[in-house]
């Protein structure tokens, strides 16, 4: 069967769903625990995604957390940026806050992003974004933050917004939480890679959210070094306050 007739958005959702199902199966059936379970999940999800991409899009380049990088992607027009298991720690702890990320970058821009949250039986796509729910103005603002390694910049942003902290695993789950109206912002600094944010950022942008580096500059993908250490994703009206709080904290020294 020729597969080029499967549209990119349909394919990305199929990939994320398939990897998610495989991850749930590994967790149910492998008998592994802890780090071994996380490693088995990373490998199994990578295998599913790599096989489906090779079958359906053999001419596209791929940047994955779980595969050796290749300079081929730097001259390619189309690059799939994937994180087979974002939130490996939470996956291995039996929690639901982990995700599968599938993004497509074309000629300089993210054009598609799918985030599956298999523990909630959820697949979110930039090709089909529901409206961000309205905020309850009487409730405090909520700031999503890493459960395991919250960056130092969290506290000044929390203070500036007088926000509640909402610790959770996975960059994808945190960014999706902003789009789902579960939190109002996610701020991260100090280390991350393109695959941690590409798919959820594409989804967040399609939902009309603010996405940027913590100095307010654009998040750029398919760079020669995939290190992309910080980001802000928030309701657009909050962006000026959040970026000002970060700038005060860093004293413009990033
Ligand atoms: N300081 C750091 N350096 C490198 N990667 C980081 C990082 N902080 C968070 N990450 C990555 O960002 C993702 C979300 O982290 P967290 O849940 O702590 O917010 C995780 O991806 P993986 O699970 O794909 O490795 C984690 O490894
Ligand atoms: Mg990740």
Of 1-5, 30-34, 83-87, 101-105, least confident by mean pLDDT is 1-5
- The secondary structure of the chain in percent helix, strand, coil, rounded to multiples of 5, reads 40, 25, 35
Residue 196 belongs to what H/E stretch?
helix 194-206
Residue 130, phi then psi, degrees to nearest 5: -70, 160
- 17 and 114 in contact (C-beta within 8 Å)? no
Quick one: tokens of 190? 């100090």
Split at pLDDT 50, 70, 90, the class of 1 is very low
Segment 97-110 mean pLDDT: 98
The share of the chain scoring above pLDDT 70, in percent, equals 97
The share of the chain scoring above pLDDT 90, in percent, equals 96
Q: How many angstroms separate the CA atoms of 121 and 198, rounded?
A: 21
Quick check: do 8-125 and 142-250 share a fold? no
Say if residue 141's pLDDT is above 50: yes
66 close to ligand 1 (CB < 6 Angstrom): no
Calculate how far, in angstroms, residue 136's C-alpha sits from the geometric centre of ligand 2. Answer: 30
Say if residue 254's pLDDT is above 70: no
Average pLDDT, the chain: 96
- CATH homologous superfamily of domain 8-125? Fructose-1,6-Bisphosphatase, subunit A, domain 1 (3.30.540.10)
Helix, strand or coil for residue 66?
coil
Q: Which residues touch 228 (CB under 8 Å, ≥6 apart)? A: 192, 193, 194, 196, 197, 219, 220, 221
| Residue identifier of the C-alpha nearest atom 1 of ligand 1 | 191
Q: Which of 63, 69, 97 is nearest to 83 (CA)?
A: 63
Say if residue 2's pLDDT is above 50: no
Residue 115, phi then psi, degrees to nearest 5: -120, 115
Segment 16-31 mean pLDDT: 98
Q: Is the pTM of this model over 0.90?
A: yes
230 close to ligand 1 (CB < 6 Angstrom): no
The domain spans of the chain are: 8-125, 142-250
46 close to ligand 1 (CB < 6 Angstrom): no
222 close to ligand 1 (CB < 6 Angstrom): no
Calculate how far, in angstroms, residue 132's C-alpha sits from the geometric centre of ligand 2. Answer: 24
Q: Say what the pLDDT of residue 251 is.
A: 83
Q: Which of 192, 174, 186 is nearest to 229 (CA)?
A: 192
CATH of 142-250, one of 3.30.70.3450, 3.40.30.10, 3.40.50.1820, 3.40.190.80: 3.40.190.80
- 86: which strand partners? 99
Q: Say what the pLDDT of residue 6 is.
A: 84
Residue 99, phi then psi, degrees to nearest 5: -150, 165
């Amino acid at each position: 069967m020729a597969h080029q007739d499967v549209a990119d958005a349909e394919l990305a959702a199929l990939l994320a769903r398939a990897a998610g199902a495989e991850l749930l199966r590994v967790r149910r059936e492998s008998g592994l625990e802890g780090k071994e379970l996380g490693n088995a999940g990373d490998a199994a999800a990578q295998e599913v995604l790599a096989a489906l991409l090779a079958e359906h899009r053999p001419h596209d380049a791929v940047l994955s957390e779980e595969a050796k990088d290749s300079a081929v992607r730097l001259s390619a027009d189309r690059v799939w940026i994937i994180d087979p298991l974002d939130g490996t720690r939470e996956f291995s702890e039996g929690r639901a806050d982990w995700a599968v990320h599938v993004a497509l970058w074309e000629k300089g821009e993210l054009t598609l992003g799918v985030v599956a949250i298999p523990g909630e039986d959820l697949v979110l796509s930039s090709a089909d974004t529901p409206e961000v729910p309205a905020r309850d103005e009487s409730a405090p603002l909520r700031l999503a933050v890493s459960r395991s390694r919250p960056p130092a910049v969290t506290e000044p942003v929390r203070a500036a917004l007088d926000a509640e902290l909402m610790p959770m695993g996975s960059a994808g789950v945190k960014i999706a939480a902003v789009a789902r109206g579960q939190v109002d912002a996610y701020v991260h600094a100090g280390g991350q890679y393109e695959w941690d944010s590409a798919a959820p950022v594409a989804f967040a942008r399609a939902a009309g959210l603010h996405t940027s580096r913590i100095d307010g500059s654009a998040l750029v993908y398919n760079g020669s070094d995939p290190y992309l250490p910080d980001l802000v994703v928030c309701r657009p009206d909050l962006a000026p306050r959040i970026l000002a709080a970060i700038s005060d904290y860093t004293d413009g020294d990033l």
